[in-house]
Structure 1
Amino acid sequence: MFIVSQCLVAIATLLDLASFQFKSRNAILICLFTSVLLTAVHFFLLDKISAACLMFLAALRYGYCIFARDLRVMIGFMAMSISVVYVTWQSWISVIALVAALLQTYASFQTNDFTLRCLMIVGTLCWILHNVLVFSPVAVLLESVFLISNIIGLWRFYGKKAVIG
């Protein structure tokens, strides 16, 4: 199962790589929706139930955010994330996944893609730490690629303007 889990997250990595190279918030969220579903299955295969459930919730959240951004729903997703970790608690490492999920939930509901990108960076750093601690090397690679892609996209759309402007 370990090899299958790493293959699934490798496919998710390609989607993450593409995600932040789009300017469109919806295109970013569609890529993330698909990537996170694959990552959820990956964590289930590794028996990391808290992380798997948080990723499944993240997929639902990204799917919802493609069409709407009601802040009451954001609070609902945050409450569900906290509840999921409470119910599926495995170790203190689950807290790192929860912090990542909460940051990225807040990011998903932002209307400004710059704010979305910046918050995603911090959440991604939390997921990298989580994935190192649960020993999922391809998931570390996935989140690292996601982080680099996000930073490149941030530079392409905002950094050049700051330097030129």
Structure 2
Amino acid sequence: MSPFILSQILAAIAICFDLASCQFKERRRIIACLIVSCLLITAHFALLQHWTATGVAGLTAVRFIASYRTTSKKAMAAFIAASLLVAAFTFHGPLSVLSCLGSIFGTIGSFCADDKRLRQLLMAASSLWLVHNILAGTPVATLMEALFLTSNLLGYYRYYGRGKDDTGLPPPAGPLRQ
């Protein structure tokens, strides 16, 4: 089996974890699915020899492990600095810039305490990765980001759309009586 085909299979498996992550409300469940997805995507990009993407995807898996336990802004700053270092040492043009920016938005999101802001920033990060994957010529990873973005939008709408509050419940249907 060629490295390209194997990379696409790994990305396809990662899709399952990405889609599942967006349908959870609990922040820790979202992050647990994303840890597995990132590990698979790290191997995917390594097989394609996209080294900045490999480095930041691996760093992202470690970041999600850390953010599972903490929302520390110091930890967030350390991971942003690490993303910049990976991109600087592996720089290879626009793909490096896109993967680094995607990593930074994802880092800020993953250290947010609430799932609403986490979702918003992950949508921004996913948009950058979508462009990256199109330019990198990886069809399954492109599909993965498109599906992740769509699933995240649906999850966001389910929990926060049409006037819902942070509990995910619609507002009361009429005047409150006392």
TM interval, shorter chain, is over 0.9
Structure 1 runs not aligned, ≥5 long: none
Aligned to 1:20: 22
Higher relative contact order (CA 8 A, sep 6+): 1
What is the distance in 1 between the residues matched to 2:88 and 2:101? 13
Query: SS in structure 2 opposite 1:22?
Result: coil
Q: Would you say 1:10 and 2:28 are equivalent positions?
A: no
What does 1:118-137 correspond to in 2, within 5 Å?
118-137=120-139
Report the count of equivalent residues: 165
Structure whose CA Rg is larger: 2
What is the distance in 1 between the residues matched to 2:136 and 2:45? 10
What is the distance in 2 between the residues matched to 1:77 and 1:26? 19
Aligned to 1:106: 108
What is the distance in 2 between the residues matched to 1:50 and 1:114? 29
| Cα distance, 1:160 vs structure 2 | 4.3
| Cα distance, 1:93 vs structure 2 | 1.7
Q: 1:91 aligns with which of 85, 88, 93?
A: 93
User: Percent same amino acid among aligned pairs?
Assistant: 38
What is the distance in 1 between the residues matched to 2:113 and 2:68? 11
Structure 2 runs not aligned, ≥5 long: 172-178
CA RMSD in angstroms comes to 1.2
What is the distance in 2 between the residues matched to 1:162 and 1:24? 17
What is the distance in 1 between the residues matched to 2:36 and 2:55? 15
What is the distance in 1 between the residues matched to 2:4 and 2:22? 28
Query: SS in structure 1 opposite 2:112?
Result: coil
Deviations 1:117-143 (A, max 9, x none): 011111100000000000000000111
| Cα distance, 1:91 vs structure 2 | 1.7
What does 1:1-165 correspond to in 2, within 5 Å?
1-162=3-164, 164-165=170-171
Q: Structure 2 length as normaliser, TM-score?
A: 0.90
Letter of the structure 2 residue corresponding to residue 36 of structure 1: C
What is the distance in 2 between the residues matched to 1:90 and 1:43? 14
The 4+ residue runs of structure 1 with deviation greater than 2 A are 160-165
Query: SS in structure 2 opposite 1:36?
Result: helix
What is the distance in 2 between the residues matched to 1:101 and 1:67? 19
What is the distance in 2 between the residues matched to 1:124 and 1:162? 24
What is the distance in 1 between the residues matched to 2:30 and 2:43? 20
